[in-house]
Homo-oligomer: A and B are copies of this chain.
């Protein structure tokens, strides 16, 4: 089985907002589909280890903010790359709330759905929630962000590893002597200061 085949499934990107009592949280997720239209039901899948999942199991209510193409990596990082167990994500950000008092993202979004869980199924790593959409609003006419957009346009590209780059020469750290060539001979010693290969650093194209 080539698991890369699953990378070709298409997804949106969402901020999943939850609240249990006074504990509020939000995380970034990419798995939501409408699964029935009569009555209107959606399905979302949430990682069991997530704090958001814990609060959602407690309250059974959530919002789903559909991120649009103007979303910044800062937003993704704030809600998606830290845990509500360690940080109060809503401490310094004032989010709007739906009629149930559940926070949602009021910007960088094109829609928000207010949902009530009708059933859930533990699937090991994740829990699948089926939910009734109790309210839905269009927030902007901007196009939704797809997960592919996120990967290609929002997520910062890792800096090119030095190892991947072409070495064109070596410079002596001691006297600055420059040796032209991709490989420094193993027994090389600097013609100026006499130091060996361990004191040379690569120079990249």
Chain A interface residues toward B at CB < 8 A: 1-6, 8-12, 31-43, 45, 66, 68, 110-113, 119, 121, 123-126, 128, 130, 133-138, 143-148
Contact = CB atoms under 8 A, between A and B. Distances in A.
A145 B145 CA distance: 15
A35 B2 contact: no
Contacts of A36: 45, 123-126, 128
Stoichiometry (number of copies): 2
Contact of A9 (B2, B41, B144, B148): B144
B31 A34 contact: yes
Contacts of A3: 40, 136
Given A40-B6, A128-B43, A144-B9, A136 B66 contact: no
Nearest to A146: B10
A110 to B, nearest CB: 5
A144 B40 contact: no
A5 B32 CA distance: 13
Contacts of A8: 12, 66, 68, 110-111, 138, 144
A132 to B, nearest CB: 10
Given A111-B5, A135-B1, A45 B43 contact: yes
Contacts of A136: 1-3, 5-6
A192 to B, nearest CB: 50
A42 to B, nearest CB: 8
